[in-house]
């Protein structure tokens, strides 16, 4: 009786383990944890065999091997076969060969990209060279330099363009011994050194120093009044007449801004980038250089502005006409129309509403 009880308890324990294992591991729908399931299959099978050996023959025949165990064994054998097949494929294609093939593909792609970038760079260089050649030809034959911006600019930016071009022309045409910024720095340094000297009797400033101060004062006054004029009106054209008279100057330079699109805000181009483009184009065009020495001569500034702008410093010249008997060197600033279609607005003002205004003083050049 005790043996039967013991045998019944063993059978019950075996069925519990088998049913729990089959519910938890065997019939799980997830396949990624297959290695874990194989270990569970082997443990369940071993447990069944061990318990089967301990049971009497009658009980073993009455409790055959569960159906799920052979199925799991079959799955385990298939998984092992798959692993063996993958190992053979990996052996046939070693990592070194795969890496070498990838390296060759990367090298080929890199060479193609380098060739494409080199071809693109050569094409851009050719386009730039052709553009520079055309700029130089047009400047020498027609006396005109076109600078086309890729966006809109501000009214203050236009004033900066005129101011910097005026400084550049005065220096390039030998009316100033050095650039405007260098002159200002030199004067400040000289004034500081003079104030530091504790001498009882100070000698009067030299002739060159007085001429330099006078020229800088005249130029600074013109620049300040140009800022006022640009704040009051749109200024599409500015003339720089050097030497001679208003009717027949020695040299005539025009800054034409009729083609510029004016706007405000962050959508406008930066003034610094526009100035770099202007001076690069002037350098390529070689419009202002001259191998012959140029004598000193006064420079007169005229600006085309609205007749009712209310400016007080500039004098209106209602009957003035641009001289035609002297070559007009034109620096034309414009905006590419394809980039600012929406920003371009039609001007409501007529040409008759604009008159020429002349600066009441001239800028006298000097040499050191």
pLDDT of residue 63: 47
CB 18 within 8 A of CB 63: no
Mean pLDDT for the stretch of residues 258-279: 93
Question: Alpha-carbon distance 259 to 262, whole Å?
Answer: 9
Lowest-pLDDT choice from 43-57, 105-119, 175-189, 320-334: 43-57
Helix boundaries (H) for the chain: 2-21, 34-54, 57-62, 68-92, 95-142, 155-172, 180-196, 207-232, 271-285
> What are the tens digits of pLDDT across the range 334-344?
999 888 765 54
> What are the tens digits of pLDDT across the range 164-216?
999 999 999 999 999 999 999 988 888 887 776 655 444 445 667 788 889 99
pLDDT of residue 101: 58
Among 314, 324, 325, smallest CA distance to 355 is for 314
Exposure string (b/e) for 71-81, b if CB count within 10 Å is 16 or more? ebeebbeeeee
- The alpha carbons of the chain give a radius of gyration, in whole angstroms, of 46
User: With bands split at pLDDT 50, 70 and 90, how would you rate the model's confidence at 11?
Assistant: low
Q: Indicate if the pLDDT at residue 233 is higher than 90.
A: yes
CB 154 within 8 A of CB 265: no
User: With bands split at pLDDT 50, 70 and 90, how would you rate the model's confidence at 118?
Assistant: confident
CB 201 within 8 A of CB 209: no
How would you list the strands of the sheet with 144-149, edge to edge? Answer: 144-149, 328-335, 251-259, 237-242, 299-306, 354-358, 315-317
Exposure string (b/e) for 181-191, b if CB count within 10 Å is 16 or more? eebeebeeeee
- The answer for residues whose C-beta is within 8 angstroms of residue 360's C-beta and 6 or more apart is 313, 314, 315
Q: Indicate if the pLDDT at residue 302 is higher than 90.
A: yes
pLDDT of residue 168: 96
Question: Alpha-carbon distance 312 to 307, whole Å?
Answer: 12
pLDDT of residue 195: 72
Q: Does residue 255 or residue 52 have the better pLDDT?
A: 255
pLDDT of residue 62: 47
pLDDT of residue 88: 52
- Find residue 363's DSSP bridge partners: 299
- The answer to whether the pTM exceeds 0.85 is no
Among 330, 180, 168, 195, smallest CA distance to 255 is for 330
The SS3 of residue 251 is strand
């Amino acid at each position: 009786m005790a043996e039967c009880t013991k045998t019944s308890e063993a059978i019950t324990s075996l069925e519990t383990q088998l049913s729990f294992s089959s519910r938890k591991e065997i019939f799980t729908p997830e396949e990624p944890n297959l290695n874990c399931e194989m270990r569970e299959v082997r443990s369940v099978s071993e447990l069944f065999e061990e318990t089967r050996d301990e049971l009497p023959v009658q009980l073993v025949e009455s409790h055959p091997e569960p159906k799920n165990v052979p199925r799991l064994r079959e799955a385990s054998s298939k998984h092992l076969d798959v692993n063996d097949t993958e190992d053979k494929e990996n052996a046939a294609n070693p990592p070194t060969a795969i890496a070498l093939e990838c390296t060759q593909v990367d090298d080929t792609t890199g060479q193609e990209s380098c060739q494409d970038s080199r071809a693109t760079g050569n094409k851009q260089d050719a386009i730039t060279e052709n553009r520079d050649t055309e700029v130089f030809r047009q400047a020498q034959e027609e006396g005109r330099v076109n600078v086309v911006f890729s966006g809109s600019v501000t009214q203050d930016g236009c004033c900066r363009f005129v101011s910097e071009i005026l400084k550049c022309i005065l220096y390039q045409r030998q009316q100033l011994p050095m650039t405007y910024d260098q002159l200002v720095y030199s004067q400040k340094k000289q004034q500081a050194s003079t104030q530091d000297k504790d001498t009882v009797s100070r000698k009067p400033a030299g002739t060159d120093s007085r001429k330099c101060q006078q020229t800088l004062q005249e130029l600074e006054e013109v620049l300040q009044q140009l800022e006022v004029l640009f704040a009051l009106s749109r200024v599409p054209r500015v003339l720089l007449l050097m030497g001679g008279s208003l009717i027949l100057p020695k040299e005539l330079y025009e800054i034409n801004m009729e083609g510029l699109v004016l706007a405000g805000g962050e959508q406008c181009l930066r003034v610094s980038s526009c100035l770099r483009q202007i001076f690069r184009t002037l350098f390529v065009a070689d419009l202002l250089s001259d191998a012959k020495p140029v004598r000193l001569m006064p420079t007169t500034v005229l600006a085309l502005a609205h007749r009712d702008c209310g400016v007080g410093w500039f004098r209106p010249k209602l009957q003035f006409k641009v001289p035609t008997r002297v070559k007009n060197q034109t620096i034309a600033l414009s905006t590419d129309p394809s980039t600012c279609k929406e920003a371009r607005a039609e001007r409501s003002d007529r040409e008759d509403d604009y008159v020429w205004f002349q600066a009441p003083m001239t800028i006298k050049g000097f040499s050191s």
